[in-house]
Amino acid sequence: MTYLLIVNHQLYCNSNATALFTILVITIIPYNLFNHWDRLYPISKLLRMKKIILLLTLIPFIGMSQKNVMNAQRVFAKMDKVLEFEKGISAHAQKYHTGEWSWRISEIVSGPDAGGYQISEGPSSWDAIDSRGNLGNEHNIDWNKNVAIYLTERGGQSYSTYQDSISTIALNDWSDKISITHYFPKLGRGYQMWTLLENLKPVWKALGQSVAVFASNSSGPAQYAVVTRYPNGLKDRALTNNNLVKDQYEKIHGKFAYAGFTETMGNSVAEVWHEMLFYRKDLSSK
């Protein structure tokens, strides 16, 4: 007789690899195997249990070492200092932000932050971020002298984790043009929001949409950022047509299912807004 405990929750399933490892580690060992363990592994019951407990305690640290963390900073140049800012940040990125800490800089072309710039760093892991340390006086002086002086006071910074199990494209499969839909779930409705996105994944796949989902982490109100990437340019936006999504949703989940989807969405989301971003290769790390 075999028993298997399957974990299907965002806390553990941020990547297929972690989900698989977690399932393997916390599988309930078959009764017959327990009875014959001593024959397979001649150790005491106490030592056996200590090893099992040790494996279970390692689960959180697996997530800590995953390279699924993105750091996003948004900045806004002074209206009359855009050229100076772009020159300064391009030189800064190429000199101080390379390798694992490379910067992808995008221009925000629509939405409430239009006119700003998003600086994306990663993917990395919490462990790597924790051990990175101070970037040094030279870095800080260059930032303050050649970049920050051209910025307004408006801006922000956030961390988010890539949600592999509800995405249709790899985290680092970048596109030059993207749109982002920001969903802010109501208090206590995070699970419903997760389920809505989980139900959308097969729809996105069927329509050929390239979607990467991110969950905010200790960065203001709880948020899911649904990033739709356009590998063929903005003509790919035709794949996101609402009528296509509705028809495909009901093909997969059943007739009239989309009405239930929209009702649950309305009851679960406190706020939603959209924007488009265009990658600026000339400003980013080389």
Report pLDDT for 17.
47
pTM of the model: 0.79
Report pLDDT for 186.
98
Report pLDDT for 260.
97
Report pLDDT for 75.
98
The length of the chain in residues reads 286
Could you give the 3-state DSSP secondary structure of residue 74? strand
| Distance between CA atoms of residues 96 and 116, nearest Å | 21
Report pLDDT for 49.
61
Q: Which residues in the chain show pLDDT less than 70?
A: 1-65
CB 167 within 8 A of CB 10: no
In terms of Cα–Cα distance, which of 283, 244, 242, 282 is closest to 265? 242
Residue located via tokens 């028993």: 3
Amino acid making up residue 138: E
